[in-house]
Each structure stands twice: as C-alpha cells, then as structure tokens.
Structure 1
C-alpha cells in the first residue's frame, strides 16, 4: 500500500485482555445463578467486592458513585461489566465506573452506554473524567443518571 507506515498491529493490551477475561467469567457466573432475587443480591455483592479491591482513591470515588446511582436511579441493577461496577436496566448496561487503575489512566471514568437517554441535539458526552467525587460532582452524577433512565 502506497504511503503506509511501517507500523504493525500490537493487539490488545494486557489490561484489555484481562477485562475481556473478566467479562467472560462474569457471563459464566451469571448463567449459574439461581432465582432473580439471588442473582440481583449476588451481582451487587460482586460489585462491592470489586470496589473493595480498588486503590483507595478509586475505591472512594466508586463507593460514592454507587451510592448516588442507587439513590437517584433505583431502577438500575448493579452488576459487573468487564470487571467494572456497572448499572443495568433490563439487562443492558446504562452506566459504569472505570477506575483509573483499570487501564492505568490518570483519571477514573463515569461512562454511559447507548441505553442512556443523554441525547442533546446532535452531539453529547458519553463519558466523564473523575479525579474526585465532590458534592458538586455528586449533584452532576445524580442529574446524569436520572436523565439516563428518564
């Protein structure tokens, strides 16, 4: 190919491969769970366990994000998604918390997927960098998750 650079595809990073393996394990574990109530309770325990494993700065933010989502969008069910705390509606992930440590980033991320009703004209944000969850950030997260499920 004319003008092609001499670069080769390196494939997925170790962190990306680990996230995919976690997702496969999550799917297998979910398939083995019992009743709907058991599934929901165990999924939330898994989320709390994953949050507890995070470095302190990420853990503190994840705990606050979890509390804000639960309080402001109780229709969302906590679950793990690619090894991240996520919140789903009818089985589809609406939003998730990605710790900074997950992919060795300088900030954590609050992300939203397609089911989130955040549409604003022809362009809108679907991810937000978090370095700290302040009272102001909590208020914004609350507004976003409410809008996402409206």
Structure 2
C-alpha cells in the first residue's frame, strides 16, 4: 500500500487550487461554463459524450445550478457549493465513471442513502434516474 498521492491525485489537487484562485478573483458564470466544457473536451470520446449529456440533463433539471469545475472535473453548484459532479473513469484510471453528490444535496432517506453512482453508459433509464436525483437534490423532487 502506497502512502503517497498518485500523480493523478496531485494533478487534481493542483487543479482545485487553481479553481479556488480563480473563484477568489471573481470568475464569471460564462467563464466557469467555458472551463467545464474545456475539461469535457479533453475527455476520451465515450466519456466526453457522457459528460456532455450529463451537463444537458443537469442544466435542464435544475437551471439554477451553476456550472463549474471541481478538482478538474465537471461539477454544478448551488449557492457557490458543489452539489453534484462527474468523474470520468480516465481521471483516476477507474473501471467506471462516477456521478456523485455532495452533502448539500437533499437526498436524505433514513439513516443511509446513496450519494455516488457508477456509470458505464447513459441510456433512457439512467437519464430518467439522474434527472430525478438532480431535481430531488435541489429540493424540487
């Protein structure tokens, strides 16, 4: 077991530091969207297609969410705090991509509930589930 950070983890932390500096400088929503789309454009074809579709689903389900990047990943925030994000499998050489929610998401369901979902593809069933989760997460579901 390694005790150090991987190169990918170090790169993600550097990206987050850059994001924080940009936010402190008053980054505009249009710039944040351009950053998100630039990160999506860097992804391999299948992940890029998935990320583009997720962006459409999230913005249609909750237009009040603000696009941004978070640790170099596409994310959407509510009131300046990340609500949900997409982590491409290639980001950390994982076997699946992840669509996840942060603790501000209103997904509470008893003493335990899922906050992160493995994604290998997006079809109508997954799109419907994601749309419902995003609406619920912002308090509309």
Q: Does TM, normalized by the shorter one, top 0.5?
A: yes
Taking only aligned residues, the RMSD between alpha carbons, in angstroms, comes to: 1.1
User: What is the distance in 2 between the residues matched to 1:128 and 1:102?
Assistant: 16
How far apart are 1:67 and its partner, in Å?
0.3
2:138 counterpart of 1:145 = no
* Structure 2 alignment gaps of length 5 or more: none
What is the match of residue 12 of structure 2? 19
Q: Deviations over 1:2-53 (max 9, x none)?
A: xxxxx6x52111111110000001111222246xxxx111000110111000
2:19 counterpart of 1:30 = no
User: What is the distance in 1 between the residues matched to 2:127 and 2:90?
Assistant: 21
2:91 counterpart of 1:102 = yes
Q: Secondary structure at the match of 2:18?
A: helix
* Structure 1 alignment gaps of length 5 or more: 1-6
Output the TM-score relative to the length of structure 2: 0.95
What is the match of residue 42 of structure 2? 53
What is the match of residue 87 of structure 1? 76
Output the TM-score relative to the length of structure 1: 0.89
